[in-house]
A = this chain, B = another copy of it.
Amino acid sequence: LRYFIDLSYNGTHYHGWQVQPNAVTVQATLNKALSVLLKSPTDSMGAGRTDTGVHAVQMVAHFDTEVSFDREQMPYKLNAFLPKDIAVNTIKNVHEAAHARFDAISRSYIYKITTSKNVFEHDKCHCFTRPLDVNRMNEASRILRGYKDFECFSRLHSDVKTFLCQISHAQWIQTENHLEFKITADRFLRNMVRAIVGTMLDVGIYKTSLDEFKNIIESKDRSNAGASAPAKGLYLTEILYPNSIYLDD
């Protein structure tokens, strides 16, 4: 039987989501917890991967098991077993063919910036104290939404087949002490959000003009874009699936 597990993690102390040799990752930590509690080796498949230091308010993964368990109680048991920086929110029954990665309709990220020294969030936001023109950065967001090919914001030597992404939402929101960039798309290229944010910060400090921002995207050349913003400010926040993949309780 196949299940979707919905979890949150603070990525500070992990080498990203994906299992890799000789590094502590969120997926490896989750797999171990599932295997211990189900008393059977269990692997999970994530909706995507997050890089070292990136956080998730919501990550979704699927796993298969023939072991029966109490689906209401299992999150509590997993949370007691998992370290304090990984939390399981829900476990849902899905169709056998449902796939956490391939069936996702959209993914959303938030990038958080503190505009002054913040003693409570120094490891969870990018601290950027130079004055930023947020209206101008939202002009850049509008330009961004007009494009589909984001090779310019893709990690070099990436082996993806296409650089096309359908961005449905991209906006900067200013609060009292924070500046947040919210972006939703059908898919994201590796390092894409951090490269977009880094380039938009250059727009916000008038290092890059809006015309140059357009030219960067059209150049399809990563070396024209700005530096990647630090991982600690990035949060995977939501992954949407069609309702049809869920089985009734």
**A145-186 to B contact mask, C-beta < 8 Å, 1/0:** 000000000000000000000000000000000000000000
CB distance from A123 to the nearest CB of B (A): 8
Contact string, A19-54, partner B, CB cutoff 8 A, digits 1/0? 000000000000000000000000000000000000
1/0 per residue A116-137: CB within 8 Å of B?
Answer: 1111101010000000000000
* CB neighbours of A79 from chain B (8 A): 117
Give Cα A117–Cα B78 distance, bound, in whole angstroms: 11
Q: What is the distance, in angstroms, from A128's C-beta to the closest C-beta of chain B? A: 14
CA distance A116 to B8 in the complex (A): 12
Residues of A within 8 A of B (CB): 8-10, 55, 79, 84-87, 116-120, 122, 124
CB<8 Å pairs between A and B, sample of 20: A8-B119, A8-B120, A9-B119, A10-B119, A10-B120, A10-B122, A55-B119, A55-B120, A79-B117, A84-B117, A84-B119, A84-B122, A85-B119, A85-B122, A86-B119, A87-B116, A87-B117, A87-B118, A87-B119, A120-B124
